[in-house]
Amino acid sequence: GLEIAGKLIDSGAVDLVVVDSVAALVPRAEIDGDIGDSHVGLQARMMSQAMRKLGASINKTKTVAIFINQLREKVGVMFGNPETTPGGRALKFYASVRMDVRGNTQIKGTGDKKDQNVGKETKV
């Protein structure tokens, strides 16, 4: 996970590191614990700690780090945006650029592939 990304960045051997997906990163305490154990805020704390540590290395080595995340729906939100991203606020705080990429319409093929989806327009 993030330890491997950190070692790659520290080594200076790579120019780009991609973490896909932040939502799938699991803190060690959650892996070691039992199903049903409460781990409220654990992923957010892990991301905050990791971003503090990785931020200095990224800056020093000039490595580009891309973190891909997912949108989740906040339960019971009546006003405002009900969408949120897992992992707390650290990524939002440390990010130089944030992009919201959403699928739009399907692109159909031509000729004998006219009934097949061959791509998707995306909105950035």
Question: Looking at the domain assignment, is residue 105 inside a domain?
Answer: no
Question: Looking at the domain assignment, is residue 50 inside a domain?
Answer: yes
Predicted local confidence at residue 40, as pLDDT: 72
Average pLDDT over every residue of 51-79 = 94
Question: Looking at the domain assignment, is residue 124 inside a domain?
Answer: no
Question: Looking at the domain assignment, is residue 108 inside a domain?
Answer: no
Predicted local confidence at residue 99, as pLDDT: 96
- pTM exceeds 0.85, yes or no: no
Question: Looking at the domain assignment, is residue 113 inside a domain?
Answer: no
Hey, CA dihedral for 1, 40, 23, 52, is it positive or negative? negative
Number of domains in the chain: 1
Residue 105 has pLDDT above 80, yes or no: yes
Question: Looking at the domain assignment, is residue 66 inside a domain?
Answer: yes
Question: Looking at the domain assignment, is residue 115 inside a domain?
Answer: no
CATH number assigned to the domain comprising residue 6? 3.40.50.300
Predicted local confidence at residue 85, as pLDDT: 92
Question: Quick one: pLDDT band at residue 58, thresholds 50, 70, 90?
Answer: very high
Between strands 102-108 and 117-123, the pairing is antiparallel
Question: Looking at the domain assignment, is residue 107 inside a domain?
Answer: no
Domain that holds residue 51: 2-99
Residue 35 has pLDDT above 80, yes or no: no
Q: How far apart are CA 87 and CA 40, in angstroms?
A: 11
Predicted local confidence at residue 116, as pLDDT: 95
Predicted local confidence at residue 33, as pLDDT: 74
